[in-house]
Amino acid sequence: MADSAPMTVPDLVALKRAGRKIVALTCYDALFARLLDDEVDVLLVGDSVNQVVAGRDTTLSATLDQMIYHAAAVRRGSRRALVFVDLPFLSYQVTVPEAIRNAGRVLQESGAHGVKLEGGQPMAATVRALVDVGIPVMGHLGLTPQSVHQLGGYRVQGREAATAGRLLEDAQALEAAGACALVLELVPAALAARISKALTIPTIGIGAGPGCDGQVLVLHDMLGLNEGFEPKFLKRYGELARTVREAARAYAAEVRGGRYPGPEHSFE
């Protein structure tokens, strides 16, 4: 169980300095936030909600209002975990003032603690501008889902020497710009460990090996709810899809058989 005191943004760096791994999971609603809050350090309201909950093929059509809605729900269900929210595609890439306005809306309307955005050196000025007005920023490098078409699909990034060197430079640029943490997605384990050692801010890996300062998984994948999705990096800690199907089957059988509701479920 995590410590009971509410997490703060500076605690992320303190955890890295102490050599304690950071635990993160995605979360999109108040119910799961309440269930996870005592066990994790960070709840990430990812734009993956657009795929996992809304059924879209990519994250690209996620909207700012959508992210704020889910982030507000997560904050209502959490009391100690840090809540970071993905800024959706085109909400921060167009102009710096627009990025500040949109990130500010996220914090103001949802109560979240910070935002996450994708990209390296080209995003450094935006990160600096957000941090300068008091908005904590988590970076995201490696496989960046908002650039999936440019990258040619969901593929490991940084296997070539030139790309690996660029990822390290991107990570250092984000740290210099004031980012408080960095997600590394689908990055070779040795490279992720190298980046983690080069930074004073923590790295949180997903498909990036054990050398990162923490780990994050998509909640529904970790629980075994997302049937058919079995990437190499994923470990399922539950098989809830099977549990849900069995419960629904039992319920349907009792309703059709007239066994539910019984007298104990009815009012006189």
User: Could you list the active site residues?
Assistant: 185
Helix, strand, coil distribution of the chain in percent, nearest 5: 45, 15, 40
How far CA 92 is from CA of 11, 12, 46, 130, 244, in Å, comes to 26, 24, 15, 10, 38
The amino acid that residue 254 corresponds to is E
* H or E stretch at 214: strand 214-217
For residues 136 and 115, the answer to whether their CB atoms sit within 8 Å is yes
Cα dihedral 20, 25, 29, 35 in deg (nearest 10)? -60
Residue 213's φ and ψ, nearest 5 degrees, are -80, -10
Length of the chain: 268
Q: Where are the beta strands (DSSP E) in 91-186?
A: 114-116, 137-142, 181-185
Compute the C-alpha angle 136/35/33, nearest 5°: 30
The amino acid that residue 248 corresponds to is A
Q: How far apart are CA 248 and CA 200, in angstroms?
A: 48
